[in-house]
Chain A
């Protein structure tokens, strides 16, 4: 099975931009879509990016996703940070027989 590796935590100031990485251990990152989920404390996860770079309705334009085949990584970028963006973020992908989540990144907006 493959793994998805994320930084354990990131922090940035309100109004700034932050990027969270998600690196796939084996298999090509472009072969299977990557999704991103936001989870605030005490709440269920919600989808903020699907199919690498698409935003569900209702998700602000400040959230964007991208893929870099050279590093076999996916990225979640949040611009114009707000305190309400403080949460855990999980990337997720799959292969022919398994779904895999990254370990999660705790975003602190201070």
Chain B
């Protein structure tokens, strides 16, 4: 079964940092680009960042560029989101989601999503 499990969420004060992790299983991890998508309480989905199979290409939403960094470790079947200079408006459930294509280029969409990890930024 294809599965993504996120971890690393928690409560952090404004200006602080947090590192999210997402472990993939049930598929050949390094064949697929990966995405982070967030959802603020009671709001819609917002794309955050994407990374290609071998980290050659990284993309960011304007709202997080310069503050968040996406990375992956294919040996550990994991993708990460380093979040710095956190703001109250970054409060959300953060989902990890797979690009279903094998070695797909550019951006696309998602098929399997994790259960999400909650990030709360508050003083």
A residues neighboring B (CB under 8 Å) = 1, 33, 35, 37, 39, 44-47, 50, 56, 88, 90, 92-104
Minimum C-beta distance from A7 to chain B (A): 13
Give the chain A neighbours of B100 by CB distance below 8 A. 50
A-B contact pairs, 27 of them (CB 8 A): A35-B109, A45-B95, A45-B97, A45-B110, A47-B109, A50-B109, A56-B111, A88-B44, A90-B44, A92-B45, A92-B47, A97-B59, A97-B107, A98-B59, A98-B61, A98-B107, A99-B47, A99-B50, A99-B59, A99-B109, A100-B47, A101-B37, A101-B45, A101-B46, A101-B47, A102-B44, A104-B45
B residues neighboring A (CB under 8 Å) = 35, 37, 44-47, 50, 59, 61-62, 95, 97, 100, 106-111, 113-116
Minimum C-beta distance from A51 to chain B (A): 8
Give the chain B neighbours of A44 by CB distance below 8 A. 95, 113-116
Whether B45 contacts A35 by the Cβ 8 Å rule is no
Residue of B nearest to A39 (CB): B45
User: Considering the complex of A and B, which 8 residue pairs feature the smallest CB-CB distances, nearest first?
Assistant: A35-B109, A99-B47, A94-B107, A104-B44, A101-B45, A44-B113, A103-B44, A47-B111
